[in-house]
Amino acid sequence: MPDKNLFNLLGLSLGAPQRKVREAYRQLAKKYHPDLNPDNPHTAERFKEIAHAYWVLSDPARRKSYEDLNPHLRAETHRHQSTRTYRKDTPKETSRQGPREGKDILVRLYVTLEELAEGVMRKVKIRRRQPCAECESTGIAGGAAGGICPVCKGSGDVPDFTHRSGSRRDSIPCRKCGGSGLQAMKACQNCEGRGQILADITITVGVPPGSDDKEKIVVKSQGHQGFMGGKSGDLKVVIVQKEHPYFERKNGDLIYHCNVTFTQWLQGCELQAPSLNGPIALKLEPRKIPEGVLKVPGRGMPDKDGGKGDLVVKYSLAIPNELNRKQISLLKRLESTKGFSPAIDDKGWCKRATE
Ligand SMILES: [Zn+2]
Ligand SMILES: [Zn+2]
């Protein structure tokens, strides 16, 4: 594919004078004008590019800023004109003058654990650079055809209806444009001539079941629009898992911490644990180790292969942080009861444990 700089879009060499720019545009406009090719969408695209190139290069101020933005084009021009030792651009330089890709857009999406488990469709608001519909992305008021004389459609002449030479239809120069085929172009007001606008839009993003925290969902080509036909960037949505009031997520497992009281531990009990789909009752046997784990297989998070993690209930014997005087005196009374405190001998020492 040839480099798509504005000069070669018009079939011109770099640094072509204004007169040549005009001539080239007029020729191409005649060939590609959409009114003359109603059934060919490709010509309409081509016409837009040509019109845009002409719009930039036909105006000295716009041409200068274009050449300032692409200094290699201007440098090439000078080298070409002054020394005649024309050399092709290095690949690195050429890549800068061709189409440029649009930038990616990165957004964070806050999602609950329940939503991650089920999968969810969410709307994401973004502000992105996209085509200006009013000027068909050309930046020219009236769209691509805005620079073409509406009377002669760019041909520069119109049929001479006053001429009566039988079958032959003669032409006379178009009066509207003085035979140039062109008319003055104005910048599109909607995009101030940029051909692109910043628009606030909403995109629906699907979060698949089992998605992870910090996982990136890439929505292809929904980022900023590219320049000069370059492809659009992507929309990258980073999942941020909201903190859950009860669960900690570890791979596919959901971990729930709970405390049991001394009597619950001593006598055994039914432990209630929350899960993503309703509470679950678990049996804690009497006098189990004071800190332990009970597992409920398959009640954790789903993974993307259809598997499921476990619900992991970590219980521990509750030890109160601070006790008031009354509670301490009650505990002391309890300790003084028979069989509650460890056995000691007459000298106050603990006896050796016997199996
Ligand atoms: Zn005309
Ligand atoms: Zn516009």
C-alpha closest to that of 226 among 68, 92, 101, 109: 101
What is the CA(38)–ligand 1 centre distance, in A? 20
Q: Token pair of 211, please?
A: 């998605």
What is the CA(125)–ligand 2 centre distance, in A? 23
Domain residues of the chain, as ranges?
6-97, 105-128+198-241, 246-355
The two most distant CA atoms of the chain are separated, in Å, by 143
What is the CA(333)–ligand 1 centre distance, in A? 111
Three-state SS for 17? coil
What is the CA(145)–ligand 1 centre distance, in A? 12
Tokens 């930038």 sit on residue = 103
Ligand nearest to the CA of 187: 2
Query: Residue 303's beta-bridge partner residues?
Result: none
Q: What is the pLDDT of residues 82-125, one digit of tens each?
A: 454 444 433 333 344 567 899 999 999 999 999 999 999 999 99
Q: Token pair of 200, please?
A: 């606030």
105-128+198-241: same fold as 6-97?
Answer: no
Give 105-128+198-241's CATH code, choosing from 2.60.120.10, 2.60.260.20, 3.40.140.10, 1.10.1040.10. 2.60.260.20
What is the CA(192)–ligand 2 centre distance, in A? 7
What is the CA(130)–ligand 2 centre distance, in A? 10
**What CATH class is the domain 246-355?**
mainly beta
Q: How many helices (H) and strands (E) does the chain have?
A: 9, 13
Cα dist from 124 to 218, 222, 239, 244, whole Å: 13, 12, 12, 22
What is the CA(142)–ligand 2 centre distance, in A? 9
Ligand nearest to the CA of 182: 1
C-alpha 316/C-alpha 88 separation (Å) is 76
Ligand nearest to the CA of 199: 2
Cα dist from 13 to 74, 95, 169, 251, whole Å: 12, 17, 36, 61
Ligand 1 ion local residues (Cβ < 5 A): 149, 151-152, 174, 176-177
C-alpha 92/C-alpha 232 separation (Å) is 21
| One pLDDT digit (tens) per residue for the chain, 355 residues | 445 788 988 999 888 888 899 889 888 888 888 777 888 878 888 888 888 888 888 888 888 888 887 777 764 444 444 454 444 433 333 344 567 899 999 999 999 999 999 999 999 999 999 999 998 888 889 888 888 888 888 888 888 776 565 555 678 888 998 888 888 888 899 998 888 999 999 999 999 999 999 999 999 999 999 887 789 999 999 999 999 999 999 989 999 999 999 999 999 999 999 999 899 999 999 977 888 999 999 999 998 888 899 999 999 999 888 899 999 999 999 988 888 887 788 888 887 776 6
What is the CA(97)–ligand 2 centre distance, in A? 22
What is the CA(61)–ligand 1 centre distance, in A? 25
C-alpha 301/C-alpha 251 separation (Å) is 8
What is the CA(187)–ligand 2 centre distance, in A? 8
Q: Angle at Cα 177 formed by Cα 176 and Cα 180, nearest 5°?
A: 155
Ligand 2 ion local residues (Cβ < 5 A): 132, 134-135, 188, 190-191
Ligand nearest to the CA of 147: 1
Q: Token pair of 287, please?
A: 């006098």
Q: Using alpha carbons only, how large is the chain's radius of gyration in Å? A: 39
Q: Which CATH superfamily is domain 6-97 in?
A: DnaJ domain (1.10.287.110)
Cα dist from 284 to 158, 307, 312, 320, whole Å: 97, 27, 14, 21
Q: Token pair of 222, please?
A: 């929904």
Task: Name the pairing type of β-strands 235-241 and 105-111.
Answer: parallel
Q: What is the pLDDT of residues 61-91, one digit of tens each?
A: 888 888 887 777 764 444 444 454 444 433 3
